[in-house]
């Protein structure tokens, strides 16, 4: 019986990995050309900004709510609904509608993408024992990075005029994935009509939210200012594109080892070391004017990120009640996405004052938030014993 459950869990993990990779590829498919596509469809520069921001705003606004719904009614319903919503929203880009409709479409995509992350990671937490959870979660994170890296490359093969068709194909794939999800085991057997157990606001949970926020702040600066910084340093278009690829490759490749560390090393130490490493690299990039060195350092920085992300996420689910997992994951992704959006919004203004300012300020704030985990996690179990089981 145990062997059958483990086999079902592995099958679910493989399916979720494929679904997450496809959806994140679709989410980033048009990023190089989407502003031009929107402009071609009559959107003003301000409306283009609203469309681009709506993806993240919708994610922040809905991730915890969807986590609550998943804990109450089951993860499969949320995942299937999100896949259908994502598919239909993607098809809007092919319709002859006004540009305002693309705000709605992008917001629906953002909410759906948040639902993918919440349900997939909470399902993994439900299906795998704590001693195996880091390695399982690392495969989901690797799929995200793979999709994020591949999406813009695939999108570059399409022209602005044909971007709607690319979105339409993405929508069809999402609808097919929804059919697969209806037959996928997501560990929902604990769902009952009884009221949900209260969310445990432990020091472990609060500390992990600080860690998620610290990580999100760093990512937000890169979202807003990385290309601007390289352009200021006279980097070529090829070098700018390569910088993202050279970061993504080691991130995706080494994330599996990061999952192993989460299951065998001290999760608290690995998490803190990864965040502080990221903040350190963030602070030094503006002061390096050799673009080849910057590309190399980006790959080195990715190692720290790859080795720590599974530990941070595993700490969020560690010791949680089965019907609490999705809400915890919703809190985690909300904190991370909100910090990302905040940093991205502020960094642009800081960059206009001084190119090094957003990198320096956010590295200090991120480090400060990360260091608070020394207090929050002081009594938290960092090592997971081999016989640890799901809660």
Q: What is the pLDDT of residue 388?
A: 53
Ordered mean pLDDT values, 10 residues apiece, the chain (391 residues): 66 90 78 75 81 87 93 92 95 89 92 91 90 91 84 71 84 91 82 79 95 95 86 82 80 90 94 96 94 91 91 91 90 93 87 93 97 96 69 41
Residue 233: exposed, middle, or buried by beta-carbon count in 10 A (0-12, 13-18, 19+)?
middle
Distance of alpha carbon 26 from alpha carbon 255, whole angstroms: 21
Q: What is the pLDDT of residue 390?
A: 45
The CATH architecture annotation of domain 203-376 reads Up-down Bundle (1.20)
Q: What is the pLDDT of residue 47?
A: 83
Distance of alpha carbon 292 from alpha carbon 206, whole angstroms: 39
Given this chain, do its domains 2-181 and 203-376 carry the same CATH topology?
yes
Q: If DSSP states are collapsed to H, E and C, what string results for the chain?
A: CHHHHHHHHHHHHHHHHHHHHHHHHHHHCCCCCHHHHHHHCCCCHHHHHHHHHHHHHHHHHHHHHHHHHHHHHCHHHHHHHHHHHHHHHHHHHHCCCCCCHHHHHHHHHHHHHHHHHHHHHHHHHHHCCHHHHHHHHHHHHHHHHHHHHHHHHHHCCCCHHHHHHHHHHHHHHHHHHHHHHCCCCCCCCCCCCCCCCCCCCCHHHHHHHHHHHHHHHHHHHHHHHHHHHHHHCCCCHHHHHHHHHHHHHHHHHHHHHHHHHHHHCCHHHHHHHHHHHHHHHHHHHHHCCCHHHHHHHHHHHHHHHHHHHHHHHHHHHCCCCHHHHHHHHHHHHHHHHHHHHHHHHHHHHHHHHCCCHHHHHHHHHHHHHHHCHHHHCCCCCCCCCCCCCCC
Query: Angle 339-316-305 (CA atoms, 0-180°, nearest 5)?
Result: 60
Tell me the backbone φ, ψ of residue 118, rounded to 5 degrees. -60, -50
Q: Where do the domains of the chain lie? A: 2-181, 203-376
CATH superfamily of the domain spanning 2-181? MFS general substrate transporter like domains (1.20.1250.20)
Q: What is the pLDDT of residue 1?
A: 45
Q: What is the pLDDT of residue 162?
A: 77
């Amino acid at each position: 019986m145990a062997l059958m459950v483990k086999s079902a869990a592995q099958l679910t993990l493989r399916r979720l990995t494929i679904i997450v990779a496809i959806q994140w590829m679709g989410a980033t498919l048009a990023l190089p050309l989407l502003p031009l596509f929107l402009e071609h469809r009559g959107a003003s520069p301000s409306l283009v900004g609203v469309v681009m921001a709506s993806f993240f705003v919708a994610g922040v606004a809905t991730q915890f709510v969807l986590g609550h719904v998943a804990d109450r009614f089951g993860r499969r319903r949320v995942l299937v609904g999100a896949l259908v919503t994502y598919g239909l929203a993607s098809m809007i880009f092919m319709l002859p509608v006004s540009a305002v409709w693309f705000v709605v479409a992008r917001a629906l995509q953002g909410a759906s993408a948040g639902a993918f992350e919440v349900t997939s990671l909470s399902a993994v937490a439900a299906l795998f024992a704590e001693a195996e959870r880091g390695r399982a979660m690392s495969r989901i994170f690797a799929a995200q990075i793979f999709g994020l890296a591949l999406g813009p490359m695939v999108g570059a093969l399409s022209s602005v005029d044909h971007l709607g068709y690319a979105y339409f194909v993405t929508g069809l794939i999402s609808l097919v994935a929804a059919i697969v999800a209806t037959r996928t085991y997501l560990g929902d057997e604990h769902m009952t009509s009884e009221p949900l157990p209260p969310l445990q606001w432990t020091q472990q949970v609060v500390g992990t939210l600080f860690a998620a926020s610290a990580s999100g702040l760093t990512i937000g600066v890169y979202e807003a200012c990385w290309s601007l910084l390289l352009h200021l340093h006279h980097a070529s278009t090829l070098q700018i594109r390569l910088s993202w690829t050279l970061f993504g490759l080691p991130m995706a490749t080494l994330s599996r080892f990061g999952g192993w560390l989460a299951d065998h090393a001290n999760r608290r130490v690995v998490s803190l070391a990864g965040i502080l490493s990221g903040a350190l690299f963030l602070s030094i990039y503006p002061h390096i004017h050799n673009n080849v060195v910057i590309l190399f350092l980006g790959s080195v920085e990715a190692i720290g990120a790859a080795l720590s992300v599974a530990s941070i996420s595993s700490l969020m689910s560690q010791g949680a009640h089965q019907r609490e997992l999705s809400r915890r994951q919703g809190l985690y992704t909300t904190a991370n996405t909100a910090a990302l959006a905040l940093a991205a919004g502020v960094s642009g203004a800081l960059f206009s004052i001084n190119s090094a300012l957003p990198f320096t300020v956010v590295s200090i704030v991120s480090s400060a938030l990360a260091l608070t985990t020394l207090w929050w996690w002081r009594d938290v179990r960092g090592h997971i014993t081999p016989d640890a089981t799901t809660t």
